[in-house]
Chains A and B, each alone.
Chain A
């Protein structure tokens, strides 16, 4: 009975680990890690407004997330300001606006929970929302896998044969805001980007095929969620931070031991070559 909340926390975290792992693969392959960080911060004002209006906070979050993505694209295309600067300007502005809006709300614990997550307070409605979002995200990637692959790998060819690459970009941004909002309670806004890029980067070191990379990344994301949640519950640590550190530990294991890319095998191979030469 009293573990009901733990079960909800577990299901939610695993789902978040899977979908952030999947979307994260496309984020890192498109060189958009900074964009991932930006969009995750930019949902804050949307979440605050949704709270005030009493509507579901996915709605507000998607709106401010997408507005920020469009703003970044607009500045980038209409001035000489570089892409990373445009991202920095827009997302800090959105984040600052969010902080001011939230101070109008009743308690500062809300802000704390949105920023850092509070997985043990997951309500049944949150869990169902996360599951629905998760299924939507996974189905989208499954259905548009071919288009996501070619537009990430060779956007020029994709555009040349008539794919709407801009629309695909914004569609990915929508998925990104959905994943961010789904992750609010497990890891919080500040650390969402870690769940997007760390498991995906781990997978990137372990395989040469996108489909396999997605599976490994989702697995790393959910394993991090389970182990992180266990550690945070047993030792009374902040859940989001613990999950992220577990994901980081997995990354460094791949960084050292990956058969093809790992430091260890590379060192062994160069040693062998050296002794072969001498």
Chain B
């Protein structure tokens, strides 16, 4: 098995305040990995630094066996829902079509092939009937499905999703989990930020437990132990009791 992501000795800070300290891990291709940790643990920061959206202080990152520059177009990123301008004048269909932009290339427009691909991805998330809606006129779950469709249209090998399950309905969540599992079975690598421990063990092959430092990384059985979890979540133990009893 090849490695999808190799990170070593990674340090990241905002305005001199360190938010990721000495992170190192390896993720093999074809795995789905949950990045778990409390609010402010640096989970979103980790995804962003993998994509070089923010600079790192030091450390090595290898993605899909190469530098980011070479493989950028093979990565699909679904940002946290709160970062999107939902009043933007764009329809569902055109939002998904944006997923084809990276491969269409500069100075060219998406043609018939790209439109068909976008429609196919829209169908996959069962949003075809909403194709002409403005994106703000959808429920949270529907919005998340549209952005997953956009990621599918990128036909990437590596998918990075930031908190895709926040504020969405059960049907949408089930559908997204199912599609992510299918992608993994096709050999794609999936990395999902997830701040809530609920269902984490059911959704992912491996977990990466983070709180400024890397607390643990490994299979769900190895990482999802009371000791590790309480180390990451510290004071928030009372709500943990219920989870760990199950």
Residues 48-97 of B contacting A (Cβ, < 8 Å): 51, 53, 69, 72-73, 75, 77, 79, 83-85, 88-91, 94-95
Q: What is the distance, in angstroms, from A30's C-beta to the closest C-beta of chain B?
A: 9
Task: Give the docked Cα–Cα distance between A210 and B97 (Å).
Answer: 14
- Contact yes or no, A150 B89, CB < 8 A: no
Q: What is the distance, in angstroms, from B110's C-beta to the closest C-beta of chain A?
A: 8
Q: What is the distance, in angstroms, from B48's C-beta to the closest C-beta of chain A?
A: 8
Task: Give the docked Cα–Cα distance between A209 and B107 (Å).
Answer: 21
Q: What is the distance, in angstroms, from B223's C-beta to the closest C-beta of chain A?
A: 28
Query: Of all chain B residues, which has the CB nearest A145?
Result: B109
- Contact yes or no, A160 B90, CB < 8 A: no
Contact with B along A149-185 (1 / 0, CB 8 A): 1101110110111100000000000000000000000
- Contact yes or no, B98 A154, CB < 8 A: yes
Out of A145, A147, A154, A162, name the residue touching B84 (CB < 8 Å): A154
Task: Give the docked Cα–Cα distance between A150 and B95 (Å).
Answer: 9
- Contact yes or no, B91 A157, CB < 8 A: no
Check if B101 is an interface residue, CB within 8 A of chain A.
Answer: yes
- Contact yes or no, B79 A157, CB < 8 A: yes
- Contact yes or no, B107 A143, CB < 8 A: yes
Q: What is the distance, in angstroms, from B29's C-beta to the closest C-beta of chain A?
A: 20
- Contact yes or no, B90 A157, CB < 8 A: no
Task: Give the docked Cα–Cα distance between A161 and B103 (Å).
Answer: 10
Check if B40 is an interface residue, CB within 8 A of chain A.
Answer: no
Query: Of all chain B residues, which has the CB nearest A161?
Result: B102
Q: A146-B101, A154-B98, A162-B102 are in contact. Are A209 and B72 (CB under 8 A)?
A: no
- Contact yes or no, B134 A157, CB < 8 A: no
Check if A207 is an interface residue, CB within 8 A of chain B.
Answer: yes
Task: Give the docked Cα–Cα distance between A147 and B98 (Å).
Answer: 10
Chain B residues within 8 Å of chain A by Cβ, number: 27
- Contact yes or no, B101 A160, CB < 8 A: no
Check if B138 is an interface residue, CB within 8 A of chain A.
Answer: no
Contacts of B110 in A (CB 8 A): 146
Check if A97 is an interface residue, CB within 8 A of chain B.
Answer: no
Task: Give the docked Cα–Cα distance between A159 and B134 (Å).
Answer: 24
Residues 38-52 of B contacting A (Cβ, < 8 Å): 51
Q: What is the distance, in angstroms, from B245's C-beta to the closest C-beta of chain A?
A: 39
Contacts of B51 in A (CB 8 A): 159-160
Q: What is the distance, in angstroms, from B155's C-beta to the closest C-beta of chain A?
A: 12
Task: Give the docked Cα–Cα distance between A29 and B107 (Å).
Answer: 22
Task: Give the docked Cα–Cα distance between A88 and B143 (Å).
Answer: 37
Task: Give the docked Cα–Cα distance between A152 and B107 (Å).
Answer: 17
Task: Give the docked Cα–Cα distance between A212 and B91 (Å).
Answer: 12
Task: Give the docked Cα–Cα distance between A152 and B154 (Å).
Answer: 19
Task: Give the docked Cα–Cα distance between A66 and B109 (Å).
Answer: 29
Q: A156-B83, A160-B53 are in contact. Are A210 and B77 (CB under 8 A)?
A: no
- Contact yes or no, A204 B89, CB < 8 A: yes
Contact with A along B178-198 (1 / 0, CB 8 A): 000000000000000000000
- Contact yes or no, A156 B104, CB < 8 A: no
Q: A143-B107, A208-B134 are in contact. Are A157 and B89 (CB under 8 A)?
A: no
Instruction: Tell me which of A29, A145, A161 has the highest count of chain B C-beta atoms within 10 A of its own C-beta.
Output: A161
Interface residues of A (CB under 8 A from B): 29, 143, 145-147, 149-150, 152-154, 156-157, 159-162, 204, 207-210, 212-213
Known: A29-B89, A157-B79. 5 other contacts (CB 8 A): A153-B90, A159-B51, A159-B53, A160-B72, A210-B89
Q: Which 7 A-B pairs have the closest CB atoms?
A: A208-B134, A161-B102, A162-B72, A160-B77, A160-B51, A210-B89, A153-B88
Can you identify 20 A-B contacts, CB atoms within 8 angstroms?
A: A29-B89, A143-B107, A146-B101, A146-B109, A147-B106, A150-B98, A152-B88, A153-B88, A156-B77, A159-B51, A159-B53, A160-B51, A160-B53, A161-B102, A162-B73, A208-B134, A209-B90, A209-B94, A210-B88, A210-B89
